């Protein structure tokens, strides 16, 4: 039985918007906007677990590593992912504290640095296709391929970017800790950026890998873990659309899981953006979740109440 718990997934792009420069103040302002809504949701009696993306932020961390590589050793991708969880987790914790206080809601907050178990045999490791980090020239790309063994791809009209595998999450290493915190009434911030991907090594050890897990799949896993009835995915569009970006675009306020599956198969939702959200939604609903709502950061409360965004039902 799904309880009155909700997992709220914040898009990395909604926290650091394309047209912005990415200062801490800008990111704080975007996070604060979401936090006010989430505090209201907590005030309504929901057990809230917050997760978030990290694409633009980890991109900045990688660029910073690249620019200072002659004086400081660059950190591997798993360490950069952990760094981004700390950075965004801190901004969320600060903003949630403030928002809960303002809303008169008394509950503790904890940010849990989370590792996500992935399978070493995941087929994604054979075909790295998630672009990350800065854009390089053809010459730099060649050098990185030979020196570091990175897989580089040419981005149309931009230059070259590194691509890494994006395996599916199997379990959260900190899962039981997150579940206990949440059921004890703690607002938990967890599994940022999909969690740091780790694989099982000999003797039960875990090893961080150079990969990224899509935060939407991890959000669905998190929702099942805490027995949430609702999964609320907040991004930078108001609604899921059919024929997105075309003159005949049609925004949807509702979809059944069967319709969602059909539109997925028809190619309405691209792999790098809306696709994972809809696939995660379908997976969560199939596993017993009640509702998935996809909407914007600024209309989170209305979306959870079914008055904004796109609602997907079993
Ligand atoms: P996030 O950081 O929240 O995961 P993404 O960029 O991965 O954000 O996904 C949200 C983006 O998906 C939107 O900004 C929009 O441009 C794009 N998108 C692609 N297809 C659709 C669609 N069918 N309906 C709505 N948005 C779509
Ligand atoms: Mg995304």
Give the C-alpha separation, 82 to 80, whole Å.
5
14 CB under 6 A from ligand 1? yes
**Residue 215 falls in the annotated catalytic set:** yes
The torsion angles phi and psi of 183, rounded to 5 degrees, stand at -75, -15
- What are 256's strand-pairing partners? 313
Other residues' Cβ atoms within 10 Å of the Cβ of residue 183: 13
Give the C-alpha separation, 22 to 261, whole Å.
35
270 CB under 6 A from ligand 1? yes
274 CB under 6 A from ligand 1? yes
Give the C-alpha separation, 314 to 312, whole Å.
7
Residue 109 near residue 189, CB atoms below 8 Å: yes
244 CB under 6 A from ligand 1? yes
Asked which of 7-21, 110-124, 147-161 is least confident by mean pLDDT, the reply is 7-21
Model confidence at 3: pLDDT above 80 = no
Domain layout of the chain by residue ranges:
5-114+176-194+213-313
Q: What percent of the chain has pLDDT above 70?
A: 99
Q: Which residue has the higher pLDDT, 200 or 3?
A: 200
pTM of the model: 0.96
What ligand has the least distance to the C-alpha of 54?
Answer: 1
**Residue 13 falls in the annotated catalytic set:** yes
pLDDT tens track for 22-71: 899 999 999 999 999 999 999 999 999 999 999 999 999 999 999 999 99
Given 12, 55, 59, 81, the catalytic residue: 12
Nearest-10 crossing angle of helices 77-103, 55-67: 130
The single residue listed with the structure tokens 């003159």 is: 247
Residue-by-residue DSSP string for 19-54: TS---HHHHHHHHHHHHHHHHHHHHTT-EEEEEE--
Q: What percent of the chain has pLDDT above 90?
A: 92
pLDDT tens track for 282-295: 999 999 999 999 99
**Residue 12 falls in the annotated catalytic set:** yes
- Name the residue with the closest Cα to ligand 1, atom 27: 274
Give the C-alpha separation, 13 to 30, whole Å.
10
Given 130, 193, 194, 295, the catalytic residue: 130
Q: Which residue has the higher pLDDT, 68 or 1?
A: 68
Give the C-alpha separation, 273 to 130, whole Å.
11
User: What atom in ligand 1 is closest to the CA of residue 243?
Assistant: 23
pLDDT tens track for 140-188: 999 999 999 999 999 988 899 999 999 999 999 999 999 999 999 999 9
53 CB under 6 A from ligand 1? yes
Mean pLDDT, to the nearest integer, of 15-28?
85
Measured between alpha carbons, how far is residue 248 from residues 238, 253, 262, 309, 310 in Å? 17, 16, 19, 19, 18
pLDDT tens track for 223-281: 999 999 999 999 999 999 999 999 999 999 999 999 999 999 999 999 989 999 999 99
269 CB under 6 A from ligand 1? yes
What ligand has the least distance to the C-alpha of 52?
Answer: 1
Mean pLDDT, to the nearest integer, of 8-32?
88
The highest-level CATH class for domain 5-114+176-194+213-313 is alpha beta
């Amino acid at each position: 039985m799904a309880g009155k718990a909700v997992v709220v997934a914040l898009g990395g792009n909604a926290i650091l918007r394309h047209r912005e420069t990415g200062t801490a103040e800008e990111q704080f302002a975007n996070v604060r906007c979401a936090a006010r809504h989430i505090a209201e949701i907590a005030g309504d009696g929901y057990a809230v677990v917050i997760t978030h993306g990290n694409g633009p932020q980890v991109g900045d961390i990688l660029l910073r590593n690249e620019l200072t590589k002659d004086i400081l050793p660059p950190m591997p991708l798993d360490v950069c992912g952990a760094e981004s969880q700390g950075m965004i987790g801190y901004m969320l914790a600060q903003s949630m504290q403030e928002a809960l206080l303002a809303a008169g809601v008394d509950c503790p907050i904890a940010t849990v640095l989370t590792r996500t178990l992935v399978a070493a045999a995941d087929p994604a490791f054979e075909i790295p296709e998630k672009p990350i980090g800065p854009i390089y020239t053809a010459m730099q790309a060649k050098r990185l391929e030979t020196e570091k063994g990175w897989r580089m791809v040419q981005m149309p009209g931009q230059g070259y970017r590194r691509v890494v595998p994006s395996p599916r999450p199997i379990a959260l290493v900190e899962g039981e800790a997150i579940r206990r915190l949440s059921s004890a009434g703690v607002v938990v911030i967890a599994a940022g950026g999909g969690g740091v991907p780790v694989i099982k090594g000999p003797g039960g050890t875990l090893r961080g890998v150079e990969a990224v897990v899509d935060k939407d799949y991890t959000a669905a896993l998190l929702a099942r873990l805490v027995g949430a009835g609702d999964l609320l995915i907040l991004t930078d569009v108001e609604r899921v659309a059919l024929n997105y970006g075309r003159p005949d675009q049609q925004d949807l306020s509702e979809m059944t899981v069967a319709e969602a599956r059909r539109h997925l198969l028809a190619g309405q939702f691209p792999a790098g953006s809306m696709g994972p959200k809809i696939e995660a939604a379908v997976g969560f609903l199939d596993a017993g979740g009640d509702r998935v709502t996809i909407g914007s950061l600024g209309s989170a409360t209305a979306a959870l109440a079914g008055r904004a965004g796109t609602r997907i039902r079993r």
